[in-house]
Structure formats: C-alpha cells, structure tokens
Amino acid sequence: MNLPIDERVEIGTFSGCFKHTSATYKFYWLLAVLEAVEEGKERIEKRELFARMVANAWYTVQYFHVSFGKADSLEAAIGAIQEVEDIPLDASKAQIVDVLMRSGNRVTRRALKHFDGNVPHKFLSPWLGSGSKSEVYRLSQHGFGFPPYALYDDHLLMQPDWMNYFVRNAAVLKDYCRWNLAVFLQARNPNVPDMLGKLERPERRGSLARQKKDYWDLVIAELGGVKCIYTQRELAKGAYDVEHFIPFQFLAHDQMWNLLPADPRFNGQKGDKLPLLTQHFKPFYATQMQAIRIIRAVKPKSGYLEDFLTVFRTLDISEQEYRNCVEPLLTIAHNNGFQYLRA
C-alpha cells in the first residue's frame, strides 16, 4: 500500500515506522496520534494518546479475543484495566477514552504511564535513531531529522508540516496503519479468520432480520415448527432468535452455514460461548440439512444457499464434511480464549 507523496515531509523515512516491530504499540500509537490531529490538536497530552491506544485495541482484545502475544504490554494493560474499571464490553472508543482520562485508579494510571517508558520516543527511531530516551527527546525538541513531533515530559508538539500531512491524509494513513497491524496480528493468530475485520468495533452489528424472514421463517412454516438444539423447546414462526453456532466474535460473519434458530431465552445467555460438539453438533447438522432441503424445494434460487458453497463443494453435505468444517474452528476459538457451554 503506497503512502501519499508530499514534498514537505520525508515519506521514505515515515514508511520505515513499522520495520522491526515486535509488539503492537507502534500501530496503536500512530492511530492515536492521527485521531488527535484530526481533532485539530497540535499539543497533545501523552495520557490522552495512551488512553486512545487502549480504546483502539479494546474491542479486538476483549470482544474478538485476538492475541497480541504474551509479551505485548498493550494487551496486558487492557487486562489490568478491565479488572478495575467498569467499562462495558461493547463500549465505544469515546466512552473508553473518557473513563481512562477521568480515572484516579492507581492500576489504570500505572497501566497508562507504562507506555511512556518506550512508546513515544521509540516511534521516532526512523528519524532520530535508537539512542537513549533523553537524547531522542532533546533531538526532537530541536527538530533534528525533521520528525513528526517534539517530545516533552507530559505532552508532544506536532511539527506543522507533518500535522498538515496527517490531517490531509488521515483516512489513507489509518488504512495503511490498520493493514500493517492486521498483517502483524495475522502472523500471531494464523488460524483466526478475517483479522482486518476484527480491528474495529462496528458502529452497528448487522441485523439477522433478513436471514430470519427469507430463510428460517420459510423452513419453520414448512415444518410447522423446529426444536431449539440447546433447550429442546419447540420454536414457532416469530418466536425465535437466529444465532451463530460458532460465535460471531470469532468468525465475524453472518453466513447461513453457521446460523440456526434458537430459543430466545437461551440465546441471551449463550453470548460468546462455544457449543459442545458431542452434545450439539448432530442436532445442528440435522437442522441445517433439513433447512437446505426445504429451501432448495421452495426457493431454489435463494442467495443464502450460496453461503454453504463458500465452504462446501455441494449442498449435499455429509455429516463428516460438516463436522470437519466446524470442529477445528471450535478448537481454535477455544485456544483463543472462548469458553465452552457447560454440559
């Protein structure tokens, strides 16, 4: 991905920011700086930037359970803050930043302050080298190497030409940063799907209303009802939820091969828990195949049938084929921190 050219700043040096990266902090630091600059801030408090780093990474760690690596200080900070602050799982970035900026909790303040040890000055290594923290601060304040900002004890001051470049190209630079971050995280989570889609909290989760109306309502109307595979309760049209067999938080998609009707009372409790293969797979498979047969008969051109063909060769799916698709995904999800339902 190419960066926008500007004759007033050195793009070649900037493109080296993510070389030799062993942790996520550089990506999230740049995203934080870009967000603050977009708001017109030339003098930016360090604590605000550290809070923005946590807020940008919060959903990826807390909701999608993406691993940053055992030694990553940002993931560790999120874990420490989550234990002491009352921050909802799906809180917006603005809400998280507000809580962290106002917090007087020593654990939170210490977790944010930790980033000051390395993050602000090491990001400037392409411009100022890998000297001591005090040396990098001194050089940045005198403009040596023309870095994007000058560093001070509790804040940084943007260099005007770099600030103009960041403001004009913020959207492209954010995409550049997220793309490099996704590549970095994918290498550490090789079996986790759609890493790029797990970097941001969606402003609004997609509704499953159309899958309900155009697929499962037809199935239930034809059958006169269907049993919830979890509670065995008979589900009638209009009295069920559509749920993800493997949690959305892991797969990050709404493809029909992973959706099925469920008891609304149970669906609210299931959350991001994993189904039990020994207990739930056979009824899940039976429900899916019954639905495929009905939709092929009553609505053979349904686009939802195409969802199955993204992972299976044909719509005549054997039980073993379906299990071979689902089982490794459940194992990987569990290894990434998702918990199974209780038997």
Q: Where are the domains of the chain?
A: 11-198, 209-335
Question: DSSP of 301-334, one letter per residue?
Answer: T-THHHHHHTTSSSS---HHHHHHHHHHHHHHHH
**pLDDT value for 203:** 61
From the CB of residue 8, how many other CB atoms can be counted at a distance below 10 Å? 10
Mean pLDDT, range 7-14, rounded to an integer: 91
Asked whether 246 and 194 are in contact (CB, 8 A), the reply is no
Q: What is the pLDDT of residues 50-99, one digit of tens each?
A: 999 999 999 999 988 899 987 789 999 999 999 999 898 878 899 999 99
pLDDT bucket at 314, cuts 50 / 70 / 90: very high
Nearest by Cα to 138 from 117, 116, 153, 123: 153
The 8-class DSSP code of residue 242 comes to E
The mean of the pLDDT values for the chain is 93
Q: Cα–Cα distance between 197 and 102 in angstroms, integer?
A: 30
Q: Cα–Cα distance between 67 and 60 in angstroms, integer?
A: 9
Q: What is the pLDDT of residues 126-160, one digit of tens each?
A: 999 999 999 999 999 999 999 999 999 999 999 99
**pLDDT value for 1:** 67
Nearest by Cα to 119 from 68, 31, 22, 50: 50
For tokens 């603050």, what's the residue?
36
Mean pLDDT, range 247-259, rounded to an integer: 91
**pLDDT value for 145:** 94
CA 270 vs CA 75, 168, 263: distances in Å: 25, 45, 10
Nearest by Cα to 308 from 240, 257, 237, 232: 257
pLDDT greater than 70 at residue 124: yes
pLDDT bucket at 205, cuts 50 / 70 / 90: low
